[in-house]
């Protein structure tokens, strides 16, 4: 258990599986109190809670992340339960596997909302409470496509470019408030999202969710004065994806 993280409070989105579940378990093992925000699949969220609450308190708040009122209510519930917020991890995201000319306005809006708008406004709503913390940190789970473009992923790529730009901007804007803001840009992580978006890929040579969780833990356990905008994690000898 990391003594410097014990009893710190983290809000995490996208905790129903994959990277989010791995992060939840890793941080619970470090003694952090968890608020798992969003997700309408209660069974998946419950499965994560069962794994995490063996190590630390865990509050699950299922709901629609695209509802800004739900985001406000989630922040308030976290503060009421744990008396503050120390860490926000924007992990929830959706991918895409659609030719550019076939992308609908509805698909564009859905991807940009979940991948960009939600973390933007959730961070904004958490900010007043983060400013009160001595170890305030925001971590955005972006993607290697924030630096490149791949076929059939035009909207997904645009959303992750936007998320990375947002990260860099507020990292500088709120450094004076003692808030550290980071982005993690993984290459191919073997999650359910990848299995659906890229069924041609196998687990061989891909990053596992637990590896990303380890990087998140490193950021939090080694919080210093340095401003690290981002860290990119690539697979070896494979085309990067998600």
- Residues acting as catalytic residues: 156
15: tokens are 């905790």
Please report which residue ranges of 99-227 form alpha helices under DSSP H.
Answer: 105-112, 118-130, 154-173, 192-197, 209-221
Exposure string of 57-93, with b = 16+ CB inside 10 Å and e = fewer, is bbbbbbbebbeeebbeebbeebbeebeebbbbbbbbb
Tokens encoding 208: 């596992």
Do 142 and 239 touch, CB atoms closer than 8 A? no
């Amino acid at each position: 258990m990391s003594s410097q993280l014990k009893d710190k409070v983290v809000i995490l989105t996208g905790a129903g599986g994959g990277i989010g579940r791995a992060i939840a378990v890793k941080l619970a093992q470090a003694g952090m109190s968890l608020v798992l925000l969003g997700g309408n699949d209660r069974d998946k969220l419950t499965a994560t809670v069962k794994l995490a609450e063996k190590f630390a308190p865990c509050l699950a708040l299922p709901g629609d992340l695209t509802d800004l009122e739900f985001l406000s209510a989630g922040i308030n519930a976290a503060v009421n339960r744990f008396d503050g917020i120390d860490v926000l991890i924007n992990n929830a995201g959706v991918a895409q596997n659609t030719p550019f000319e076939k992308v609908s306005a509805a698909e564009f809006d859905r991807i940009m909302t979940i991948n960009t708008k939600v973390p933007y406004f959730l961070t904004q709503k958490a900010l007043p409470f983060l400013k009160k913390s001595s170890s305030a940190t925001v971590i955005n789970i972006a993607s290697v496509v924030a630096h490149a473009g791949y076929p059939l992923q035009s909207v997904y790529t645009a959303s992750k470019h936007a998320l990375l730009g947002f990260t860099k901007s507020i990292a500088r804007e709120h450094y004076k408030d003692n808030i550290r803001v980071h982005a993690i840009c993984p290459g191919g992580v073997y999650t359910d999202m990848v299995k659906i978006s890229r069924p041609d890929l196998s687990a061989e040579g891909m990053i596992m969710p637990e590896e990303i969780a380890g990087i998140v833990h490193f950021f939090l356990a080694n919080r210093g004065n340095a401003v690290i905008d981002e860290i990119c994690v690539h697979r070896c000898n494979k085309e990067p994806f998600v």
